[in-house]
Amino acid sequence: MRRSVHFLSGLAALPTLIAFGAHAMSEGASELSGVERVLSKLTKSDSVLINITAGDMPSSPDILHLGRRTRPALERCLADNADAYIRVRCAQILQALGDPAALPALRSALEDWDARVRQRAIRALGAIPHPDSHAALAKLYLRKDEKSYNKTAALASMGALGSHASVKLLRKELRQKPKKNASDRRATAFRSLWRSRHLMARATLASDVSYALGTDYDGLTLAAAEVSAELRERSLVGKLIPLLEHKSSSIRNKSVYALGKIGDKRAATALLKAMPKVREARMLNNIAFALERLDKKAFYPAIQKLIAHKQGVIRLNAAYVIGDVKHPEGLPYLKKALTDPSDYVRTSAVVALGKLGTSDAAAPLRQYVDDPNTTIRQEAIYALHQLSGGKERDLIYDKLFASKYAKSSRGWAMRRRAALALGRAGDKRARKYLVRCFEQGSCTYRGVQTFIEKDKSSRTQGRMLLAWANGRYELTRLLGQKQPKGTLQVATSAFDAAMAGGDRWRAARSMDLLGEVGNAGSRQQLENHLSQRDTSLRMRAAVAAARLGSTQSDQTILSTLDQAPAAWLAALARIVSAITEPEAQKRLEPELKKRSKGSDIELAMASAAVLLAWEPDAGFFRFLDGLSSKKLRERELSARYLKRNRSKKLTSVMRRALARESRAYTRDRLRALLDRR
Amino acid sequence: MIKRKSGVVFATIWLCAACGASTQPPAVPAGPPDQPVPASVPRGEVHGAIDLTPRSDCEEAFDLAVYKNRGVDLITWDDLDGRCVGREVEVTYLTDRLTKQRLLELIRAHSDRFEEKSK
């Protein structure tokens, strides 16, 4: 009983392994003396965790703040501590550290007497993937007395290894129908196989996907329909078409989506046949988009029938789809929908007209700018604004923002939406409303950002400084750009107060602002924190100081990256990416470039992510190599970092790469990443 | 009365449409993958107003078509994402691989209208 309680609390602590811990900020924070003693010995003695109890076990973040130097002690803990709960914790922390040197210890832990320890070791082996882990995982998987959940976890981890032997086993398991009352692990085997797809011939992979599409196990069919959209193999069309009538809505929709992506004209007939029978908006939209790509000539006659359908909800969605495909050919159908008896359909048609991008759509919209239905009136005005390229500000102001209805208590939503639209268009008439709306928390910073950034009023900037001091830290970058009077004083005082009060969150944000606006005094102040035990604070202090010209902090940035747990590297890379000063970038660039080519994949890709943020065009090529790597982990990390960087320049560079890419899997990956942007 | 309900309906169909909107892949190109070009290589720049053929992914379709020419270095768009007509675009190109005349032909071949402007 005691053990199971410990185990559950161990699971509850898992998210803290990902986030930076909160305990290490203050060097003098009160801790249990036993815990402190263990922490102080953790990097010096590899036996310190062998005989400790749960009460003396330091928190996971506190151990992780000490970095990779704790690995030997954690390995001994995993092998020798008598308490299964502690062994589970040590395996978790080894996973978060991500040091490949821990792999032998983790493989040995697959022999642990306790199933929960084995489960944690299985997951860790998946998170620190290496082909050599296959034999140990396969051995565990094939044991008859192994727990079912561990067998499933082992299959999932095998998918991460990048091992040909794993692929062989997974392909066998994919075709293994479970015995009666036994767990069906075919979907897990399939997903793992998909992760390892770069090791397979494309025809073999396509045949496995085709097989999975044809099974009677919905979980497996759904997984196969999902990947079909990325694989885009024409050989799958024959298997996907019958799924348009599958009982599962998810499978039907994924199949339609995949058919649209594959782009084989054979699918058009099937989609046209399915269209009149559709009973859900999502399916109708997916079919319409797929058809629009596959056979434009067939699309408009089909949609014409739907815009005249006897059910209002179908007419509404048909109008919506016409707008979203953005062809001017949709204009006559939308004009017809404007005469629909349903307000919903007319509203949908008004919105759609705004998306057509043709000036011919403006005339029919004008008649609705005074419509008694406030929804139709608003949508017509915003559609006109959109068609005019943002030139209908007066219409928004007069008919919406300053209207009697908008000023009444019932019209607050209309007024706010109008103010936000005016703000995006840089209209100063909305200033008073927008600043107040942001201060009150009724408008997000994102909503008012365009206006606030362009607003030169010193009083607005002063109010933004006040808002920052009250906790609106999303303004940090803005204050750095505008530097209203008093910013440095506020940032310095906020930093002092946060450190004195142990407010880690505020300290971090204050450091960021000091990095934006600080002076030589601030640099000195920040340099005093380069030995912070808290990894995140240490990195923020070093980054802020580096931005202010501190060469001393460069080494802290690099050594913190080198020592950091793998699970924290993405967050640390994001902090370093904030350096915008060319001089500081120039100082760090050679070392980061060196690391980006190193054998430690986690560190390499984190370093490359910083370079990508600094200069997407030059930095992208390391990721193009990564997407095509033989190592699965490198491929997956490359995709993950590319997904996180949302810059428009990177989108353009990725399109350039896709246009010139001939390697099939790299094309698939680039295509999928661009689809999500 | 209608206002709140239609908001829900629109939110739903907006999400649905997002699942469906994208393009077919262009034909697979021959040749090596994209390569970095040193900053020292001479570049030219063309800037102008452009109307793209309206479709759900007009900007991306233009980029994919124009980027096939390896003399095109970088295409940069204005902030009017999602619009096809009345856009502004800037194209930098490698002058030793592509002439300005050829670039203009390329841009016009993949758009409905292009009018060069000085920056």
Q: Using the beta-carbon criterion (under 8 Å), do B63 and A656 form an inter-chain contact? A: yes
CA dihedral A211, A212, A215, A221 (to 10 degrees): -150
Q: Is A282 on the interface with B (CB under 8 A)?
A: yes
- Residue A632's CB is within 10 A of a number of other CB atoms, namely 21
Q: Using the beta-carbon criterion (under 8 Å), do B54 and A356 form an inter-chain contact? A: yes
Mutate to test the interface with B, among A655, A662, A670 (most CBs of B within 10 A): A655
A181 alpha-carbon distance from chain centroid: 37
Q: Does residue A119 belong to any structural domain of this protein?
A: yes
Residue A3 and residue A98 in one domain: yes
Residue A107 and residue A220 in one domain: no
Residue A122 and residue A235 in one domain: no
For residue B25, give how far its alpha carbon lies from the nearest alpha carbon of chain A (Å). Answer: 8
For residue A54, which of A14, A117, A9, A112 has the smallest C-alpha distance? Answer: A9
Domain boundary residue, one of A128, A156, A173: A128
> How many Cα atoms occupy the beta-carbon half-sphere of A493 within 13 Å?
9
Looking at the 3D structure of chain A, how many domains does it have? 2
- Residue A280, domain CATH: 1.25.10.10
**% of chain A exceeding 90 in pLDDT:** 82
Domain boundary residue, one of A85, A106, A128: A128
For residue B36, give how far its alpha carbon lies from the nearest alpha carbon of chain A (Å). Answer: 7
- The pLDDT tens digits for A338-364 are 999 999 999 999 999 999 888 899 999
Res. A334: pLDDT tops 90: yes
Domain boundary residue, one of A128, A158, A182: A128
Q: Is A321 on the interface with B (CB under 8 A)?
A: yes
- Taking contacts as CB-CB distances below 8 angstroms, the residues of chain A near B58 are 326
Q: Is A261 on the interface with B (CB under 8 A)?
A: yes
Out of A112-121, A306-315, A401-410, B33-42, pick the least confident: A306-315
Residues A597, A604: Cα–Cα separation, whole Å: 6
Token pair recorded at residue A12: 């509850």
φ, ψ of residue B92 in degrees (nearest 5): -100, 145
Q: Using the beta-carbon criterion (under 8 Å), do B33 and A325 form an inter-chain contact? A: no
**DSSP labels, B34-53:** P----TTS-EEEEEEEEEPP
Residue linked to tokens 């808290």 = A534
pLDDT tier at B53, thresholds 50, 70, 90: confident
Res. B1: pLDDT tops 50: no
Give the domain range for residue A264: 201-294
pLDDT for the residue B87: 92
SS3 readout for A374-385: HHHHHHHHHHHH
Res. A188: pLDDT tops 50: yes
pLDDT tier at A667, thresholds 50, 70, 90: very high
Q: What is the DSSP letter of A398?
A: I
Res. A60: pLDDT tops 50: yes
Res. A27: pLDDT tops 60: no
Pick one of 3.30.70.100, 3.90.1150.10, 3.90.700.10, 3.40.630.30 as the CATH number of B41-119. 3.30.70.100
Residue of chain B whose alpha carbon sits nearest to that of A287: B20
Residue A102 and residue A206 in one domain: no
ipTM value? 0.82
pLDDT tier at A486, thresholds 50, 70, 90: very high
Q: Using the beta-carbon criterion (under 8 Å), do A343 and B6 form an inter-chain contact? A: yes
φ, ψ of residue B91 in degrees (nearest 5): -120, 120
Residue of chain B whose alpha carbon sits nearest to that of A283: B16
Q: Is B80 on the interface with A (CB under 8 A)?
A: yes
- Taking contacts as CB-CB distances below 8 angstroms, the residues of chain B near A358 are 54, 85
- Taking contacts as CB-CB distances below 8 angstroms, the residues of chain A near B49 are none
Q: What is the mean pLDDT of chain A?
A: 92
Residue A123 and residue A216 in one domain: no
Q: Is A593 on the interface with B (CB under 8 A)?
A: no
- The pLDDT tens digits for A381-432 are 999 999 988 899 999 999 999 999 999 999 999 999 999 999 999 999 999 9
Residues A280, B75: Cα–Cα separation, whole Å: 39
Contacts of A588 (CB under 8 A, 6+ apart): A546, A554, A557, A558, A576, A579, A610
Res. B26: pLDDT tops 90: no
Please work out, in degrees rounded to the nearest 5, the angle formed at the alpha carbon of residue A642 by the alpha carbons of A97 and B73.
Answer: 140
> How many Cα atoms occupy the beta-carbon half-sphere of B32 within 13 Å?
4
Q: Does residue A335 belong to any structural domain of this protein?
A: no
